[in-house]
A = this chain, B = another copy of it.
Amino acid sequence: MTETFQFKLLAADGNARRGEVVTPRGTIRTPAFMPVGTVGTVKAMYLDQVRDLGADIILGNTYHLMLRPGAERVARLGGLHKFIRWERPILTDSGGFQVMSLSSLRKLNEQGVTFKSHVDGALYHMSPERSIEIQGLLGSDIQMQLDECVALPAEPDEIERAMEMSLRWAERCKVAFGDQPGKAMFGIVQGGDIPRLRERSALALRDLDLKGYAVGGLAVGEPQEVMLGMLDVTCPVLPADKPRYLMGVGTPDDILKSVAHGIDMFDCVMPTRSGRHGLAFTRYGRINLRNARHAEDTRPLDEQSSCPATRDYSRAYLHHLIRSNESLGGMLLSWNNLAYYQELMAGIRKAIEEGRYTDFMAETMEGWQRGDLPPV
């Protein structure tokens, strides 16, 4: 087993890359989708199931975990991996994004951000150094720099100011992270929807020679073409021998296209959150199980799937569970959705290896567009 964090590029097809992030805790096959384990649990799933579906890595949210159970407590309990029973790699975000979206009373300046916990109202201060310290206490394998993510649309001056400060924070995070051969700290490219700012951010981060790079501040409401356009100016600037992670993305369609633009890693709450709300992702596209058309449909979501949730339970039963607000509904649809996402990633990886990624994209999108089975 390796003792250092490495990225290996195994194959490429156009801008799509097939690789491996090798860490002491295991290898992450890329392109990879990371299920989100917000508060130390991938909602409504046993982590054994998550692993069995093919996830090589999961994500933990620093903001949630620092508030409850608290980073120092997790450290005393032996670290996040042991606490939640997941021995493979974990990536943690910096906490910054959720400080902005969930906490109140935020005061942000060059030093960092002061905020009130949404759990108990307690006051916290987070600097770039403290964010890295917290992620270290959690025992995270891939840590993210603290950054400021501006909601779009925003004024160019504001986007630039936040991007420049994020660059200075990246340097401070790099120093705080220091030399940890088995782990990595990723920088985050910012710059909103302005190509020259994205380029400036990517260039400056490249010069910091980090172990990996994320693209942040996208999929925050802008059209998909804008997001892909930003990837087109960003990815070519980033070093080819480092992994690239598009934060918080996204729909299966977003993922399929972003891979073609050079992205290696993804995370999103969509499969689990949508699952709890009755939405199933399948090779027939999205299926809303709340819809009355499923009420007497004895067919499973997809009889050819290897996932029990997808193959063994009737649509009628799933419809009933979702309509009745029963937790088994969310359990089964989260399971189905994470299975579909991992199956999609496996298909993506295979297609890149075989040099037929363009065809794979077309076939996959055709399946979605053909839509669901005709009603019974």
Which residues on A are within 8 Å of B, measured CB to CB?
Answer: 39-41, 43-46, 68-69, 73, 76-78, 83-85, 295-296, 298, 312-314, 316-317, 320-321, 323-324, 326-328, 330-331
Chosen A-B contacts, 25 in total, with CB atoms closer than 8 Å, are: A39-B320, A39-B326, A40-B320, A40-B321, A40-B326, A43-B326, A43-B328, A44-B327, A44-B331, A45-B328, A46-B328, A68-B323, A69-B316, A69-B320, A73-B295, A76-B296, A77-B316, A83-B314, A83-B316, A84-B317, A85-B317, A327-B327, A327-B330, A327-B331, A331-B331
Q: Residues of B contacting A328 with CB < 8 Å?
A: 41, 43-46
Give A46 to B328 CA distance when docked, in angstroms. Answer: 7
A-B CB proximity, top 5 nearest:
A41-B328, A44-B327, A69-B320, A39-B324, A41-B326
Given contacts A327-B327, A328-B44, A328-B46, contact A69 B295 (CB under 8 A): yes
Q: Residues of B contacting A298 with CB < 8 Å?
A: 77-78
Q: A77-B316, A83-B314, A85-B317 are in contact. List 14 more A-B contacts (CB 8 A).
A: A39-B320, A39-B324, A40-B320, A40-B324, A43-B326, A43-B327, A46-B331, A69-B320, A73-B295, A76-B296, A77-B296, A77-B314, A83-B320, A327-B330
Q: Residues of B contacting A320 with CB < 8 Å?
A: 39-40, 68-69, 83
Chain B: minimal CB distance from A77 (Å): 5
Give A328 to B327 CA distance when docked, in angstroms. Answer: 10
Give A298 to B321 CA distance when docked, in angstroms. Answer: 35
Chain B: minimal CB distance from A286 (Å): 22
Chain B: minimal CB distance from A44 (Å): 5
Q: Residues of B contacting A314 with CB < 8 Å?
A: 77, 83
